[in-house]
Every structure is written in C-alpha cells, then in structure tokens.
C-alpha cells in the first residue's frame, strides 16, 4: 500500500482544509510523519475543496507550494528558512499556524 511505502518517498506536500470530510487532520499528520524526506503541511480554515477558500489563503498555499517544489527540484532536504511555516509539535499547534482568515460559508458570525 501507499502508506507502507511512505517512508521511502523523497518528498510530500499536504494542503488541507481543517474541516475536510475526506480525511481527518490526524490522518494527514500521521502520513506527514511517515515521510522522512522533504515535507510540508499547510492547513486552512475551510473545507476540503480549495476552490472555496479565500484568495488570501489560496495565495498563501501557492507560495508555500512553489517554495516546496523549488526545494524538491533542487534536491534539498529542508525548506529554505524564508519558506518555512511556523513550527508546531501537536495538532493544536498546527491549527494555530492558520491565519485568522475563514472560508465564507464557515466564517463565525
């Protein structure tokens, strides 16, 4: 299975809406943790479908994606300092890396 081979993957990038119905945040973090190579995970306050995310969030994810792809093509094992996300050690910390920008249908009133 793909999961069993993840430690062999050279790199992985995850962009995830925090209320994704397709897979839990815990499952995504577990997959992230299995990869030993270059990796990044970006979360947003929105659903699975990125098409509904605010432009600001799409731009933030694209910027991280480009930095990740550049590092992967260059054979780096870490992201350049300027492209690194805030550090996190648990789910609460990962969720806290999201800016206070909400997808419109789920924005608190």
CB count, 10 Å around CB of 1? Answer: 5
Q: pTM for this one? A: 0.85
Cα–Cα dist 91/85, whole Å: 14
Cβ contacts of residue 46 below 8 Å, gap of 6+?
17, 18, 19, 52, 53, 54, 57, 102, 103, 106
- 40-91 pLDDT per residue, tens: 999 999 888 888 899 999 999 999 999 999 999 999 988 887 666 778 899 9
Tell me which residue has tokens 């093509």. 73
């Amino acid at each position: 299975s793909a999961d069993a081979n993840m430690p062999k993957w050279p790199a992985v990038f995850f962009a995830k809406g925090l209320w994704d119905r397709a897979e839990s945040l815990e499952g995504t973090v577990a997959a992230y943790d299995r990869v030993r190579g270059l990796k990044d995970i970006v979360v947003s306050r929105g659903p699975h479908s990125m098409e509904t995310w605010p432009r600001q969030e799409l731009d933030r994810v694209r910027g991280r994606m480009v930095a990740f792809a550049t590092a992967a093509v260059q054979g780096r094992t870490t992201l350049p300092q300027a492209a690194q996300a805030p550090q996190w050690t648990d789910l609460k910390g990962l969720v806290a890396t999201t800016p206070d920008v909400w997808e419109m249908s789920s924005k608190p009133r």
